[in-house]
Amino acid sequence: MRIPKKTSLTLIALAAMMTAPDLLPAFKDYRMLDWTTVPRVLDFQVKVRSEDPVADEQARLRPDTTPEKADTPKLVDEKGDLQRFYAALHATERRDEGAVTRILHYGDSPTTADLITADVRALFQKEFGDAGHGFVLLAKPWAWYGHRGVTVNGAGWKIEPANTAELRDGQFGLGAVSFRGGPGASSKISLKDAGHTKIEVAWLSQPEGGTFMVAADGQTVGTVDTASPLVRPGFQTFTVSEGFKEVAIGQVTGRVRLYGVRLMKDTAGVEYSSMGVNGAAITILARNVGEEHWGEQLRHVKPDLVVINYGTNESVYAGYVDTAFERELVRAVKRVRKAAPEAAILIMSPMDRGQRMPSGEIETVAPMNRLVALEQRVAAEHGCAFFNTFEAMGGPGTMGRWYLAEPRMVGADLIHPMPAGAKIVGNLLYKSLQDGYRRYKLALAKEKFGAPGSLRQ
C-alpha cells in the first residue's frame, strides 16, 4: 500500500519533533515523549482490582502520609470502657442465644443522612451478623433524612426535632424527633432486605391519647391505644412473618404522638441505629431532650455502645467552644451513664471543617483543634473512649484536600462529606473498633492459657 505524500511528510515531521529534544540539547524543554516509558507501555497489564479500595483512596488523597501512619486511627480507651462493648460483641460472635449487640450513634447532619453510620453498620453486620436496621424515624423531618436500605414516607404529621421545636417539653423519643398527628396521618417504611421478624413502635402515652394501626405488607398486626393517665413513653413489639418488606402506620383516631420504629431480626448480630438530627449540637442531648424521658428510652433499648458525635456545628463559635462546650458534653455523658450504666460510651470528634480564606486557600476553622482537645479530655476524665475523627482522616487542611480531589470527597460547604468521603471515615472508625476487639480477644486467650496480659487497652 502506497502512503500519500502529505501523510508521509506529516509522519516524518512528527518523528523529528519527537526525537529532536533527545538529540539536540537546545530543544530539551520541548520533549513530547519519554522513551524510557515505552517498554512499560508495551508490557501493559490490566490493573488488578484492589482488595481495599478505601485504603487506596485514602493513600491517593494523602500521598505524603505513609500507609502505616494512615492506617492507624486515633482511638483512645484509657479506662477500658469499651471492654463491656467488646464483651457483648464476643457473645454475638459466638452466636450465643439472643446475643444482639446494640449501638446507638448520635450525631448531626451527616448522621441524619446515614453517612458514615451506614458504612459502619454494613461492616459490623457483615462480620458479626445482621440483627436488623434498628431505630428509624417515623417520617422525614428533612428531605435528606435517610437510612440505607430503608425508604421512609409520611404525611399529616407535625414534625418537631428537639433542637427546633416550638413545644419544649423534652418528650422527643429515642431519636430526638417527635411526630404529632390526627386522623389522616400515616407513614410507610419500606425495606430492601428481608429477614426482619419484629417491629417495635415507640410513642407517648398521655391523657386523651388516640389510637393508631400497625400493618406489615398490608396485613394489620395490631392497634395501639395511647391513652393513659400518665405521660410516659410507650413501646410495643409486634412479631411478624419473616420476609415482610413494608411497615404501615395509620388509621389514626384522636391525637397521637409517635417517635419511630425499631426493625429487628430474630438472630444474633449487630443492631446499629443512626440517630442524627440536622443542625444538632451537643445541647440536644444535654438539654433539649428531657433527662427522665430520654433516659427511659435508653433503658428500654439497653445499648451496648452509645456514640456521642458532635462538634461540627459548634466549631465555628470560638467563644462557645472555650466557655460552654465542655460543660454541655459532660452533662450529656452523665445523662447516658445514669440511664445506661452498662453501656460503653465513645466520644467521637467531628470531622475537619474547612473555611475559604481571603487568599482563596481552604483552611481548618480555628477553634477545631481546641474543640477536639476538649472532647479528648472529657473522655479521659469521665472514663469514656475517644475516637479522633479529625486526626484519623488527615488533620488540619483535610477538607481542603478533599474538596480539591477528583472526584470531590466533600461538598462545597466544606462540611458534609460525599458518600466516598463518608465511607473513608466509616472504615476508619470500624477498623479502630475492630483492632480494639482483636486485642480484647487476645487478652482473653492469654488469661485462659495462663499467659500474662490485660483486658485493658
Q: Is the Cβ–Cβ distance between 298 and 335 less than 8 Å?
A: no
Q: How far is CA 40 from the centre of its chain?
A: 42
- Of 359, 369, 362, nearest to 400 by C-alpha is 362
Residue type, 94: R
**Whether residue 238 has pLDDT greater than 50:** yes
Three-state SS at 160: strand
Give dist(CA 430, CA 128) in Å, integer. 12
Quickly count helices (H) and strands (E) in the chain. Answer: 15, 19
Q: How confident is the model at residue 291 (pLDDT cuts 50, 70, 90)?
A: very high
Residue 381 C-alpha cell reads as 476524665
User: Which residue is associated with the grid cell 526525537?
Assistant: 19
pTM: 0.84
Top-confidence residue, 445 or 47: 445
Q: How far is CA 455 from the centre of its chain?
A: 27
**Whether residue 284 has pLDDT greater than 80:** yes
**Whether residue 143 has pLDDT greater than 80:** yes
Q: Is the Cβ–Cβ distance between 347 and 395 less than 8 Å?
A: no
Q: How confident is the model at residue 53 (pLDDT cuts 50, 70, 90)?
A: low
Q: Which of 38-47, 372-381, 439-448 has the highest mean pLDDT?
A: 372-381
**Whether residue 240 has pLDDT greater than 60:** yes
**Whether residue 257 has pLDDT greater than 60:** yes
Q: What is the pLDDT of residue 194?
A: 82
Computed over every residue of the chain, the mean pLDDT equals 88
**Whether residue 64 has pLDDT greater than 50:** no
Q: How confident is the model at residue 449 (pLDDT cuts 50, 70, 90)?
A: confident
The pLDDT tens digits for 323-366 are 999 999 999 999 999 999 999 999 999 999 999 999 999 999 99
Burial class (CB in 10 A: 0-12, 13-18, 19+), 346: buried
Three-state SS at 77: coil
Give dist(CA 434, CA 173) in Å, integer. 30
The fraction of the chain above a pLDDT of 70, given in percent, is 82
Residue type, 430: Y
Q: What is the pLDDT of residue 450?
A: 72
Top-confidence residue, 71 or 407: 407
Give dist(CA 206, CA 231) in Å, integer. 4
Looking at residues 371-389, what average pLDDT do you find?
Answer: 97
Q: How confident is the model at residue 12 (pLDDT cuts 50, 70, 90)?
A: low
Evaluate whether the domain defined by 136-265 bears CATH number 2.60.40.10.
no
**Whether residue 144 has pLDDT greater than 50:** yes
E-strand ranges in 162-210 read: 177-181, 186-191, 198-205
The pLDDT tens digits for 90-118 are 999 999 988 999 999 999 999 999 999 99
Q: Is the Cβ–Cβ distance between 135 and 175 less than 8 Å?
A: yes
Give dist(CA 307, CA 433) in Å, integer. 12
| Domain ranges across the chain | 53-131+267-457, 136-265
Q: Is the peptide bond before 407 cis (omega within 30 degrees of 0)?
A: yes
Give dist(CA 345, CA 342) in Å, integer. 10
The pLDDT tens digits for 68-80 are 344 545 899 999 9
Three-state SS at 18: helix
Evaluate whether the domain defined by 53-131+267-457 bears CATH number 3.40.50.1110.
yes
